[in-house]
Chain A
Amino acid sequence: MNTNGRYGIHGGQYIPETLMNAVMELDAAYRKFKDDPDFNRELTDLFNNYAGRPSRLYYAEHVTKDLGGAQIFLKREDLNHTGAHKINNVLGQMLLAKHMGKTRVIAETGAGQHGVATATVAAMMGMECEVFMGREDCERQALNVYRMRLLGAKVHPVDTGTATLKDAVSATFREWTTRIADTHYVLGSVMGPAPFPEIVRDFQAVISKEIKQQLHDLCGKLPDAVIACVGGGSNAIGSFYNFINDPSVRLIGCEAAGRGIDTNETAATISTGKLGIFHGMKSYFCQDEYGQIAPVYSISAGLDYPGIGPEHAYLHDIGRAEYVAITDDEAVEAFEYLSRTEGIIPAIESAHAVSYAMKIAPKMSKDQIIVITISGRGDKDVAAIARYKGENLYE
């Protein structure tokens, strides 16, 4: 599936020459440490003792009863240290960076979750950390900006373009070209030039590895569907990966439709994008007829990205995974529903996945199983959702 950083026609390394040796150095280091027992022992120790893995697979009894169909299990990535799946990838990449002798990390962030995870691990590992975040997102997620500063990171608001996630990614790539020797770019999703999509996937694959084991222990079988939200696609590919060769398991990625896929205010890449080349990879992108990248929109800062990781584009092409679009309104409804019904406030990103489960579960039978990945916790979103509902609440 995955030779030379390609997933079918997708992937590749479309980056300036200045960065080529940096990604080649990363690739060589990854090949060296990937199967190294000491590296993996260290990583497992960090996963378990620092991030709090394995994360729980929780049977959502009340949601199951209420929806009246398939049994709903929640993969609780929201219970990880720093409150999202992002820490899995950050621990992996930063351990790798440390072994490569890097002393400084840079990262982009959308919702701020990846930035917070990077700043957190940088504090713990004693590395210098700078985070690039769209000015718009800095305002939407002001608490996370302060959190990163508290952790000792420097946060650079990005004013270019739409001042959101794609601009933060561009700014971080630009920064990397100016300072490579001591610096690793901790990319936050399964995107960018090879080997990033592969590295990030491998570090997130722990999610599906655990789901498989936990569900086996609980019910002795495979799930019928695994549902996860898709921004760049890291929590989704992590949730899918160990089920790709189990054809009975439906793999469903939920993109952000924003105000609807028939409007311009959407971030649903598979539904509205077309094949293109951007941020180092060939994949699907929201763009105009001349290839100008579209200014996308979603209520969720973490899904507000005009592209999708190349492996998802491939899974879509071959029909192995399905991609659906969930609107702001539907996500907010699911956000409130899970909070009220199960006492779990999901990240607004994860609420997109919850919403699709709410649609299909009632149509499935009671012996069927849906696993929803709750990629993060919703504390960061509470104020924004209150405002969305018309309340005058500011953090």
Chain B
Amino acid sequence: MNSIREAFQNGKAFIPFITCGDPTLETTKKLAIAMEEAGADIIELGIPFSDPTAEGPVIQDANIRALSNHITTDDIFAMVADLRKEVKVPLVFMTYANVVFSYGTEKFASECKRIGICGLILADVPFEEKKEFSSVCDKYGVDLISMIAPTSNDRIAVIAREAKGFLYCVSSLGVTGIRTDITTDVGAMISNAKKNTDIPCAIGFGISTPEQATEMASKSDGIIVGSAIVKICAKYGENCVPYVAEFVKTMKKAIS
């Protein structure tokens, strides 16, 4: 298994996001394998939550599809343990505080280590609350990934200084979802962060076209694409794998 740092060493990193169990865990596994083949450098796996408050409609619906199949955190751990045998790229989980807290943060982090998850993104855990989770994650070698947003301003320095794995730069105000325009000066956010950390910075939220990918990658070390991929999953269901792979290939090419 490669490390997060290594994943940023062959050019700009492409980081796709999918929701586990959308629509089945078997599809999730096939998708991850196909996305690695298509050039993904890190794969972000969403653990569904009933009330994903940082998500726009596309990913909200993916959470509902997954949960309506009664997919649990334990089912996802079992799938990832299997998947780990077949993919080399780093895998990170993205979810909400309650999913981890209710499972038992210690138990959750130790499962992550056991199945080979190397990072964790918690959309509703800001810098002020991170210690409760990072102190446990650190013990098991799981990086709790920090986020900076267009509203972070003078918080960027403090957040970046303690960031681990990679720094997740939120491109725009609002929730996840496809945007036609990204108007934030992400370049300035990232150069501010870079003064305070030497870990890679990846931009996420709103990126859906190769043109946006090229532009955002030019300002950062990598890009994260969620809603655009989940939209393909929604359209094709269990048959989405080749379509997603094609999209990943196009996006990876756009940043290479």
- Which A residues fall within an 8 A CB radius of B? 12-22, 160-161, 166-167, 170, 173-174, 177-180, 274-280, 285, 287, 289-293
Contacts and interface: CB of A to CB of B under 8 A. Distances in A.
B123 A21 contact: no
A180 B99 contact: no
A177 B50 contact: no
B173 A291 contact: no
* Minimum-distance CB pairs A-B, first 8: A291-B102, A178-B174, A18-B149, A277-B97, A292-B50, A291-B98, A17-B149, A17-B147
A17 B126 contact: yes
Contacts, number: 111
Interface residues of B, number: 39
A345 B50 CA distance: 37
Given A177-B54, A178-B173, A17 B148 contact: yes
B126 A20 contact: yes
Contacts of A161: 50-51
B3 interface: no
Nearest to A277: B97
A177 B174 contact: yes
A18 B103 contact: no
Given A18-B150, A177-B173, 20 more contacts: A12-B128, A13-B128, A14-B129, A17-B151, A17-B155, A17-B159, A18-B151, A18-B170, A18-B173, A20-B128, A21-B152, A170-B51, A174-B53, A276-B98, A279-B53, A287-B98, A290-B102, A291-B103, A292-B67, A293-B50
Contacts of B152: 17, 20-21
B136 interface: no
A275 to B, nearest CB: 8
A13 B129 contact: yes
B149 A14 contact: no
Given A161-B51, A170-B51, A291-B103, A278 B98 contact: yes
Nearest to B73: A290
Contacts of A21: 151-153, 155
Contacts of B170: 17-18
Nearest to B74: A290
B131 to A, nearest CB: 11
B125 interface: yes
Nearest to A170: B53
A16 B123 contact: yes
